[in-house]
């Protein structure tokens, strides 16, 4: 079955702009999580969505937001981009529910802010 698909793969944006990243989870998976990966900070949790509801949010400013659609696809948005937002943004899906089965990750979107 198809894996987790993230689009686009690469993005270059200018400071102050906003960006939207997309994630299509594995079919049947209802939980989608987003992570920011940087060499210095490693994998930092952004948020988790389940059945269109944000259940958990990490310690990121309000410029970072997301949503999930009825087909479980998810988007994250970063407004007023800063240079420090340059990172690999990873999406992960899992069946969700009450147990933790581990996640399947996408290839990520590499965002460069100039």
Partner 1 sequence: AQRVTQPEKLLSVFKGAPVELKCNYSYSGSPELFWYVQYSRQRLQLLLRHISRESIKGFTADLNKGETSFHLKKPFAQEEDSAMYYCALGFFQGAQKLVFGQGTRLTINP
Contact residues toward partner 1 (CB under 8 A) are 31, 33, 35, 42-43, 45, 48, 50, 55-56, 90, 92, 94, 96, 98-100, 102-108
Closest CA to 78 of 9, 16, 4: 16
**Shortest separation between residue 71's beta carbon and partner 1, angstroms:** 19
Residue 65 vs 79, nearer CB to partner 1: 65
Cα 67 to Cα 2: distance, rounded to the nearest angstrom: 22
Identify which of residues 79 and 107 has a Cβ nearer to partner 1 in the complex.
107
- Cβ 70 to partner 1, closest distance in Å? 19
User: What minimum distance in Å lies between the beta carbon of 26 and partner 1?
Assistant: 13
**14 closest CA partner among 110, 80, 61, 60:** 80
Would you call 107 exposed, middle or buried from its count of C-beta atoms within 10 A (0-12, 13-18, 19+)? Answer: middle
| Burial (CB count within 10 angstroms: exposed 0-12, middle 13-18, buried 19+), residue 70 | exposed
Q: How far is the CB of 31 from partner 1 (least distance, A)?
A: 5
Comparing CB distances to partner 1, the nearer of 81 and 89 is 89
């Amino acid at each position: 079955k198809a894996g987790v698909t993230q689009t686009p793969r690469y993005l270059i944006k200018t400071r102050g702009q906003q960006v939207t990243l997309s994630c299509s989870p594995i079919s049947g998976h209802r939980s989608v999580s987003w992570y920011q990966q940087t060499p210095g900070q490693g994998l930092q949790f952004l948020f988790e969505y389940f059945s269109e509801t944000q259940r958990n949010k990490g310690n990121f400013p309000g410029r970072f937001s997301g949503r999930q659609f009825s087909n479980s696809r998810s988007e994250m948005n970063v407004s007023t981009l800063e240079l420090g937002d340059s990172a690999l943004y990873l999406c992960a899906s899992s069946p969700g529910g009450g147990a933790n089965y581990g996640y399947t990750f996408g290839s990520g979107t590499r965002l460069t802010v100039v």
